[in-house]
Structure 1
Amino acid sequence: MVHKRSHTITDWDPEDLEAWESGGARVARRNLIWSVVAEHVGFSVWSLWSVMVLFMPTDVYGITLGDKFLIGAVATLSGALLRLPYTMATTRFGGRNWTVFSAFVLLIPVAATIVLLANPGQPLWMYLLCAALTGLGGGNFASSMTNINAFYPQRLKGWALGLNAGGGNLGVPAVQLLGLLVIAWAGDRQPYWVCAFYLVALVIAGIGAALFMDNLDGPGVDLAAMRAAVRNRHTWTISLLYIGTFGSFIGFSFAFGQMLALNFAADGQSVAEASLHAAQIAFVGPLLGSLSRVWGGRLADRFGGSAVTLVVFVGMIAGAAVLIAGGTSIAACAVGFVVLFVLSGMGNGSVYKIIPSVFDAAARALPLDEAGKAAYSRSMSGAVIGIAGAVGGLGGVGINLVLRQSYAATGAATWAFVIFAVFYAVAAVITWRVYLAVPRERGGAPEAAPTSATLAS
């Protein structure tokens, strides 16, 4: 491996055990650390409006409950769609270079949020536009995961991708916890301190990436890989599973605080009291979900991503059932959501372990030399990571819209969780049929595709 002073690495081969142990692991770890930092801050900015809406009483800002769900949906939609171009960005511009850019560009929506909240009474479209710009932070996930996927060997991808994604996901509870501290310290009319903190954090993340990260010179994710991934049926099967896991995580992260506030208000509390008490609890769910993602990756390394994913979906059906039965009970809301957050976090890690496993198995069946097989596995895995991340993020949009409609039609979220439970059941059946039952019938490994021809279909 030749490490140029320009922060560009050539001839990177993480599967070369001797090179890995003689310095490759250290290089990969350094890049992973700063990737986590940048992605963490990016997720916080993406989730910024899940906190800001708690600082926006209707009588001051003129923003209704339905508007708040819509703001969350727009932020989620933007972050999901931006994951597609972000997936290819590290190949085109370099992992280090893109991480620096993607950190500094987030200064724009954070500064815009400060201006908007300092001047109440603006039309709804301005809040929606600002929320859409925070979606740039959601795009960071795809570029970060694609980059780290290229740095680590197959045997460590579950752990590395789980740690990278889990550290990024922690940005959601971090911004919510910071919002709680600001409310407790400065009151519910001074959210600017939250934004000011992230202005500083983004500068630190950008400078750290510039100093300590590297670009990989070699095959990556380009339009050809994206087109090949789009034609591969596993791309869409995995994307559907990721809707159920990551879509649930990010969708509930935006909605959990608002639902808690509604339940506290239904219990007789004032709007201000309900918002404060909701903020005291809301960060716990995303925190547990973020931490469990790392363990989901570890368990997937040991037992197989498909097996862990199946258990996750069965458990999520039970979590949804608690919320259906609990109605407006605050205790049931807290317990049901904690179950869903923990399991969706684990599922995020296990689903992403399926991706490199499937395409590594496909590469082994191709008539290529070892370098060609590695390039195929790397490019296809990176492309599917980006596509699945984007489609999975759209699940968060669906969750906010379904909850919004459920409240509008019935005044409660019961029917929304019935729909979610049905989806989890479908995802469990698909996981079993595609990645467990069929390969076993043909004598393959849990994640291995039956044949290379099937993968190409």
Structure 2
Amino acid sequence: MKTRPAAGRWIEGWNPEDEQYWERTGKRIARRNLALSVLSEHIGFSVWSMWSVLVLFMSPEIGLGFTPGEKFLLVVVPTLVGAVLRLPYSWAVTRFGGRNWTVFASAVLLVPALLAFVFVQRPGTPLWVFLVIGATAGVGGANFASSMTNITTFFPQNRQGWALGVNAGGGNLGVAVVQLLGLLVIATAGDTHPSYVAAVYLPLIVLSALLAALKMDNVDAVRARPGALREAAASRHTWFISFLYIGTFGSFIGYGFAFGLVLQNEFGSTPLEAASYTFIGPLLGSVSRPLGGKLADRWGGARVTLWAFLALALGTAGLLLASRAGSFGAFVAAFTLVFVLSGLGNGSTYKLIPAAAAAEAEATITSGGEARQAFARARRISGAAIGIAGAVGALGGVAINLAFRASYQGPQGSGTTAFACFLGYYALCVLLTWAVYLRPGRRVAQGPAPSREPRPARAR
């Protein structure tokens, strides 16, 4: 292993598939970078989803009396911008290095946090100002793509499900933490001090950027050859998995942003009542994501994803029944279950990316291709596909909030129409998962993907 300090802590010759290298050196470096990546992504998710909390404070009492439709629009904008920025963020890691980009991606979070702190308590601030500020918060959601692209390079293929699950789950926890913080502010200072929520993150952002600069590493393996994104886009699996990720991550982030507003519109909950429940689902959904990755490492991403979508459909049917019955307790319980299942599906669906790429590499080797080149291409495509799937999946959150916005329009609005649409999408995902990855004769990435990449160390 060599380093080039002039380039900013670059590690050359990174090869986590070499077991001796991994046990001697690689594991320690990978886990340190994973921990700091989780911190940066966690704060990014908190800033990204901050508007799901701030809209609960917006009322005539602080001079910000927006309609339900306008509030849903305020949570749609950061979701949309975060989704759009995920592709360039994913590419930026391969151009500038994981450490270098994490420093930038952490520091730039100061912009949306400072703007929210300054403006969110100014009476009479027009809606367009908040829409602009919410758009800047999208950089927090883009953090996910660069972080995942970086971390997948640090770990060997047979540990990527766990590593990606921990990285994403730790980041996803930011949704629950910022909502828990909102509850704390409302319970202690009342519902007229939203700026306190933004203020908490200002020093944390600075700390995260400093730690990334001092302790993280760039690795040469993260660099993508020109055309990696084009190769990933040409693979049908990239788009199949992106479609599935709309259903899992789109559900998680869409519901996470909308849950408080749904409770207010469905049951007339006060800000304190809504905030008392909104953090539970994202918290459990974030914790379940690494479990989904671990189960996928053991049983295969396709199997776990199929069962996750079947259960999501049942959970959504429960939401429809609870909504029609007007049962607050059953509604919150069903929503919490849906969050947990979306977390499991997030972990297993992302595991499909490197597993499908490795399966294609195996097919190349079987047909006479050279093993090292085939697996190098698989790694290259996996990193680019993660960026594409992350961007497309986040658009699912936009669709969910737009569906809620349309469903709750008018004085008699309810979430029934939106939930029926979500149920139909989960059914499509079940059919796609079975047809592409599990149907006899077309089984791809069912179990732990094999690794026949040549290794200079002893074989596993």
TM-score by length of 2: 0.93
Aligned residues, how many?
Answer: 440
In the alignment, is residue 150 of structure 1 matched against residue 153 of structure 2? yes
Give the corresponding residue for 1:111: 114
Letter of the 1:441 partner, please give it.
G
Matched letter for residue 289 of structure 2: R
Q: RMSD in angstroms over aligned alpha carbons?
A: 1.6
**Distance apart, 1:223 and its partner CA:** 5.2
Q: Is 1:136 the equivalent of 2:136?
A: no
The residue type paired with residue 308 of structure 2 is V
Give SS of 1:32's match. Answer: helix
Matched, 1:46 2:48: yes
Letter in 1 for 2:338: L
Kindly report which structure 2 residues correspond to 1:417-428, keeping only aligned pairs within 5 A, or say none.
417-428=419-430
- Partners of 2:315 and 2:163 lie apart in 1 by 28
Please report how far the alpha carbon of residue 241 of structure 1 lies from its aligned counterpart in structure 2 after TM superposition: 0.1
Q: Which of 340, 360, 375 is the matching residue for 2:358?
A: 360
Q: State the alpha-carbon separation in 1 of the partners of residues 222 and 347 from structure 2.
A: 25
The aligned residue for residue 446 of structure 1 is 446
Q: Pick closer, same or farther for the CA change 1:402–1:204 going to 2, 3 Å.
A: same
**Offset at residue 2 of structure 1 (A):** 2.0
Native 8 Å contact 2:299 2:448 kept in 1: no
Identical-pair percentage: 54
Give the C-alpha shift of residue 332 in structure 1: 2.2
SS of 1:67's partner is: helix
Paired with 1:424 and 1:305, the residues of 2 have a C-alpha distance of 17
Report SS of the residue matched to 1:433: helix
Q: By how many angstroms is 1:373 displaced? A: 2.7
Deviation at 1:442, TM superposition (A): 5.2
TM-superposed CA distance for 1:114, in Å, is: 1.3
Matching of residue 230 in structure 1 with residue 227 in structure 2: no
| Cα distance in structure 2, aligned partners of 1:4 and 1:428 | 48
CA distance in structure 1 between the aligned counterparts of 2:88 and 2:313, rounded to whole angstroms = 33
1:282 is aligned to 2:317:
no
Q: Which residue of structure 2 aligns with residue 344 of structure 1?
A: 342
Letter in 1 for 2:284: L
Q: Pick from 21, 24, 29 the counterpart of residue 22 of structure 1.
A: 24
Letter in 2 for 1:321: A
What amino acid does structure 2 have at the position aligned with 1:105?
A: V
> Matches of 1:175 and 1:165 in 2, distance apart?
16
Q: Deviations over 1:363-393 (max 9, x none)?
A: 2333654442332112100111110110000
State the alpha-carbon separation in 2 of the partners of residues 342 and 147 from structure 1: 26
* 8 Å Cα contact 2:153-2:222 kept in structure 1: no
Aligned position for 2:385: 384
Query: Distance in 1 between the 2:371 and 2:2 partners?
Result: 20
Shift of 1:184: 1.2
Q: Is the 8 A contact 1:87 1:221 kept in 2?
A: no
Structure 1 portions without partners, runs of 5+: 450-457
- 2:70 aligns with 67
Letter paired with 2:192: R
How far apart, CA to CA, are the structure 1 residues paired with 2:375 and 2:303?
25
Q: Is the 8 A contact 2:302 2:437 kept in 1?
A: yes
Q: 1:126, CA displacement in angstroms? A: 1.0
Q: Is it true that 1:315 corresponds to 2:317 in the alignment?
A: no
Give 2:58's match in structure 1, choosing from 56, 59, 81.
56
User: 1:254-281 deviations in whole A, cap 9, x for unaligned?
Assistant: 111111223442xxx6xxxx11011011
Give how far 1:443 is off. Answer: 6.8
Preserved CA contact (<8 Å) 2:97 2:222: no
In 2, distance between residues paired with 1:230 and 1:424? Answer: 24
Structure 2 gaps of 5+ residues are 450-460
- Show the counterpart of 2:164: 161
